[in-house]
Amino acid sequence: KAGVTQTPRYLIKTRGQQVTLSCSPISGHRSVSWYQQTPGQGLQFLFEYFSETQRNKGNFPGRFSGRQFSNSRSEMNVSTLELGDSALYLCASSFTGDWAFFGQGTRLTVV
Amino acid sequence: KNEVEQSPQNLTAQEGEFITINCSYSVGISALHWLQQHPGGGIVSLFMLSSGKKKHGRLIATINIQEKHSSLHITASHPRDSAVYICAVSTGGGADGLTFGKGTHLIIQP
């Protein structure tokens, strides 16, 4: 069974640009959550999608958005990138209310 | 908002030692997760607990709901156990809105 796949693995962007990250959950999983990890703040919850609906949202500015498609694949978008957005972005999928499976993450560097 | 505290922040031990990592949280939860993160970033879920104790190989996780405290134990530690161990709590199960501790950086020396 394939794990959670995140693409791309590494990304370098310039301040002011926007970026889209992708997450393909484990087959059959309908819940996808996104997290940001930085050295200063650690891991922080961004948002969670379930059956194409955003079910929960963390405390991040509106520049951070996401969506989920009918096949459960999810994308997150960050607009008007800032240096502080440099981080490891992780997604996790779960079936419903059980074990969370994490992807390898996308390391975003904003220069 | 749930506050999650882990201790110690850093731990260096010799191969074979018994390791304990602690996690405390401030408000009621539906589940507590123990995660392992190796250099490079990928996270592996080790345990999800809502009560009692679970064991997987050399790893044991316990939780005391009344005291809002959990421990992760590693028996017969090995250098390959070197990683960051992260405690996370949820109120809705699964990966929904996890709140994370800062992590414990464990190094096992041969």
Residue closest to A19 by CA, chosen among A88, A75, A91, A93: A75
Question: Which residues in chain B touch residue A101, judged by CB atoms under 8 angstroms apart?
Answer: 45
- Using the beta-carbon criterion (under 8 Å), do B44 and A35 form an inter-chain contact? no
**Cα–Cα distance for residue pair A46/A54, rounded to 1 Å:** 11
Burial per residue of A50-61, b for 16 or more beta-carbon CB atoms within 10 angstroms, e otherwise? beeeeebebebe
Work out the minimum CA distance from A106 to partner chain B, whole angstroms: 9
Which of A45, A98, A107 is closest, CB to CB, to B98?
A: A45
For residue B94, name the pLDDT band (cuts at 50, 70, 90): low
- Using the beta-carbon criterion (under 8 Å), do A104 and B40 form an inter-chain contact? yes
List of chain A residues with pLDDT < 50: none
Residue closest to A21 by CA, chosen among A67, A55, A84, A62: A67
Residue closest to A91 by CA, chosen among A28, A46, A58: A46
Work out the minimum CA distance from A33 to partner chain B, whole angstroms: 6
**pLDDT reading at B1 higher than 80:** no
**Cα–Cα distance for residue pair A92/A56, rounded to 1 Å:** 14
> How many beta-carbon contacts under 8 Å exist across A and B?
74
Flag whether residue A5 sits within 8 Å of chain B, measured between CB atoms: no
What pLDDT, on the 0 to 100 scale, is given for residue B92? 64
Work out the mean pLDDT of chain A and round it to a whole number. Answer: 93
Work out the minimum CA distance from A30 to partner chain B, whole angstroms: 11
Task: Give strand pairing partners of A107.
Answer: A10, A88
**Structure confidence by residue, pLDDT tens digits, B49-89:** 999 999 999 999 999 999 999 999 999 999 999 999 999 99
Residue closest to A69 by CA, chosen among A55, A51, A89: A51
CB neighbours of residue B99 within 10 Å: 21
What pLDDT, on the 0 to 100 scale, is given for residue A2? 75
What pLDDT, on the 0 to 100 scale, is given for residue A18? 98
- Say which DSSP state A19 is in: E
**Structure confidence by residue, pLDDT tens digits, A32-56:** 999 999 988 999 999 999 999 998 8
